[in-house]
Each structure stands twice: as structure tokens, then as C-alpha cells.
Chains A and B, each alone.
Chain A
Amino acid sequence: QVQLVQSGSELKKPGASMRVSCKASGYTFSSYGMNWVRQAPGQGPEWMGRISTNTGNPTYAQGFTGRFVFSLDTSVSTAYLQISSLKAEDTAVYYCARDGGGGWDHRWFDPWGQGTLVTVSS
């Protein structure tokens, strides 16, 4: 079955960097784009951006430029989210979520990874 499995929870100090991985299985990785979504405590989801798994081209939403980097390792069907210069306000659950369909406009999210809790605290 189609599945996205993310790396485990992280506790980081302000100023540190971290990387979240999202390993896909059950489908052709390069056929569907991958999105990253942040959900702060008690808040709704917020789209961070998307990476084309075909070309590797990333698109970042406003507010997620500079310190946030999306990347791929297509040889192991894995997407990555790297965050540098971590701040307390980066504390959130981060999800990867696949494009729902293979069409250019099939940009609903399905499935989602299980989420990675990132806590930034001194």
C-alpha cells in the first residue's frame, strides 16, 4: 500500500539545524510531487511548499524561504526537509504529504506521513 514513513521526533537547541526524512513506498516515487506541511501546536496545517520528484525543482511558500530546504534522494524514494538556524517558533509537527494524483492540478494531499515532532528549546 502507498505509505510515507517519516523520521522520529527531534529535540534541538535554538540555532541548530536538523533534517526530516520521508520515505515513500508502494508507488512510483517520481510520478507524484511531495509537499511539506507544518502544524504548530493547537493550530491548523500550513503548506510550506512542494518539490517535484520528477525534476527536483522546489517551490517554497512565503515564510519558508532561506532557512528551509527541500531535497530528494530518488535512489531510495526519500524526500527531505532541512531547517537551519532553528528558532523556538519552529516547534511544530512537520508532515510530508504526497500529491493526491499524478495530474498537474491534482494537488490535494494523500497520503500523509505520520508526522515528525520538532521541539526547539534551550
Chain B
Amino acid sequence: DIVMTQSPDSLAVSLGERATINCASSQSVLYRSNNKTYVAWYKQKSGQPPKLLIYWASTRESGVPDRFSGSGSGTYFTLTISSLQAEDVAVYYCHQYYSSPLTFGGGTKVEIK
């Protein structure tokens, strides 16, 4: 199974500042034949289902604010919130869909400092 390890477990960022969440996979999730990285990111607010933010490691889902960006390839990935807003308080999860079983990171809780 591919293990997804997120860091940090939590972070507190001032409004308008940058938040960076990291995710590492235990093996590469880059499919060389199409050069695609099989990683998605989700945001989960308290009491709600997860909401898709990013897929293919860096493709922003329609309707997601452009302050959210994803980067990385191979085994190391990053979700960046360029200017934290109050509505961004949530837990964020990375997810690999490269191979079964599909797996998630442990989550990063983002709060306002």
C-alpha cells in the first residue's frame, strides 16, 4: 500500500499570510507513460464532507479560488494557500489514486493565528 504522510499535523497562520501543507508518498505516484501525478487534495470543514480542491497534483477544480495551488511530482507534494482567509479554516487531506488501495494522508488542520 502507498502511505501518504502529511506535515505538519496542524498550523496556525495569520489572515492574509501563506499556508503551506506538505505530503510525501511512500513510492512514486507519477505514471511515466502519461507524465501525470496521481494526487488530489481535499478540504474538510467541521461536520461536512471533504471537498475536492486539486487533482493531477496541480489542476485546480472548477470554482476553487486561485489562492489554492498544488505542486510537486514523484513522491513529494505541496498544497499552498497564498493568502489565508477565514473560510479556509479546515482540515486538508492529500490522496493518491495511483494504485489500489487508494489512500489518504493523515490530515493537516489549518487555523487562524
Contacts and interface: CB of A to CB of B under 8 A. Distances in A.
Contact of A45 (B36, B93, B97): B93
B106 A44 contact: yes
A89 interface: no
Given A44-B107, A45-B50, A112-B49, A107 B93 contact: no
A68 interface: no
B71 to A, nearest CB: 17
Given A105-B97, A109-B40, A100 B103 contact: no
Contacts of B105: 44
A62 B101 contact: yes
A106 to B, nearest CB: 8
A114 B97 CA distance: 22
A29 B82 CA distance: 37
Contacts of B38: 105, 107
B107 A47 contact: no
Contact of B50 (A46, A62, A105, A109): A109
Nearest to B54: A108
Interface string A42-59: 001111000000000001
Interface string B76-113: 00000000000000000101010011111111000000
Interface of A: 35, 44-47, 59, 61-62, 95, 97, 100, 105, 107-115
Q: Which 10 A-B pairs have the closest CB atoms?
A: A107-B97, A112-B49, A108-B40, A110-B52, A61-B101, A47-B102, A108-B55, A44-B107, A45-B104, A44-B104
